[in-house]
């Protein structure tokens, strides 16, 4: 009975020493706000808690667990920081660039005169999609001198043709127009 009581005293004394050491170290530098650091809210009064508290190495001086959620311990005892797994973002496949437009063709159908002061031109589109073309033509007199020159844009459907009417009244000399000349190449608006 005497031996058992002595063992309980030794255990109680060692528990108080451990608590005093850990309490003062955690409360050091905080002044009197923590009550001197002598008490612990996790304190138990049986012998089993003493062994657990004295052998606990998983707490730092602030009472927090030193096992960070982002740090894992390897089998060899060392710690490594876990890298976040990132999912690769899908890359959009590059879209096929549209083919450059080919130039169209322009053919004179009718030249302007006093009875019909409009020149008629047929424009053809060789492309697989609708395109806008620039059509250039000139009105000339009987000696071959240019009275006026024009440039007109026209939209033509894919693989289709469009009739363009070019007014000659703006020249002011419709009666002098002997013939019309159209550039065969209709330039595509790229």
Find out whether 177 and 140 touch, Cβ atoms under 8 Å: yes
Q: Is residue 73 part of a domain?
A: no
Q: Is 59 helix (H, G, I), strand (E, B) or coil?
A: strand
Q: Is residue 92 part of a domain?
A: no
For the residues of 82-141, what is the DSSP string, one character each? PPPP-PPPPPPPPPPPPPPPPPEEEEEEE---SSS-EEEEEEE--SSS-EEEEEEEEEE-
Find out whether 109 and 162 touch, Cβ atoms under 8 Å: no
Q: Is residue 9 part of a domain?
A: yes
Q: Are residues 113 and 184 in the same domain?
A: yes
Q: Are residues 48 and 108 in the same domain?
A: no
Q: Are residues 184 and 115 in the same domain?
A: yes
Q: Is residue 147 part of a domain?
A: yes
Would you state the pLDDT for residue 169?
78
Confidence of residue 170 (pLDDT cuts 50, 70, 90): confident
Confidence of residue 61 (pLDDT cuts 50, 70, 90): very low
- The CATH number linked to 134 is 2.60.40.3230
Give mean pLDDT, residues 132-153.
94
| Confidence check: pLDDT of 56 > 70 | no
Q: Are residues 108 and 184 in the same domain?
A: yes
Residue owning tokens 């390897």: 74
Task: State the total domains in the chain.
Answer: 2
Quote the CA–CA distance of 130 and 67 in Å, as a whole number.
68
For residue range 113-126, what is the model confidence (pLDDT) as tens digits? 999 999 999 999 99
Residue numbers of the domain that contains 58: 2-65
Quote the CA–CA distance of 63 and 22 in Å, as a whole number.
10
C-beta neighbour count of 10 within 10 angstroms: 10
pTM of the model: 0.48
Would you state the pLDDT for residue 86?
64
- Give the 3-state secondary structure percentages of the chain, helix then strand then coil, rounded to 5: 25, 30, 45
Quote the CA–CA distance of 152 and 47 in Å, as a whole number.
104
Q: Is residue 53 part of a domain?
A: yes
Q: Is residue 80 part of a domain?
A: no
Confidence of residue 163 (pLDDT cuts 50, 70, 90): very high
């Amino acid at each position: 009975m005497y031996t058992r009581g002595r063992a309980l005293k030794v255990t109680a004394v060692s528990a108080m020493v451990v608590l005093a050491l850990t309490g003062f170290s955690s409360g050091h530098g905080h002044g009197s706000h923590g009550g001197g650091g002598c008490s612990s809210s996790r304190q138990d009064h049986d012998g089993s808690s003493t062994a657990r508290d004295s052998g606990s190495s998983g707490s730092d001086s602030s009472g927090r667990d030193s096992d960070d959620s982002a740090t894992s311990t390897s089998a060899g005892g060392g710690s490594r920081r876990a890298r976040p797994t990132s999912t690769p973002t899908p890359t959009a496949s590059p879209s096929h660039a549209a083919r450059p437009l080919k130039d169209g063709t322009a053919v004179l159908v009718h030249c302007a005169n006093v009875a019909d002061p409009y020149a008629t031109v047929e424009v053809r589109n060789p492309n697989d999609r609708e395109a806008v073309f620039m059509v250039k033509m000139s009105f000339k007199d009987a000696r071959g001198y240019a009275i006026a020159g024009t440039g007109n844009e026209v939209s033509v459907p894919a693989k289709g043709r469009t009739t363009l009417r070019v007014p000659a009244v703006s020249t002011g000399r419709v009666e002098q127009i002997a013939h019309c000349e159209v550039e065969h190449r209709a330039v595509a608006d790229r």
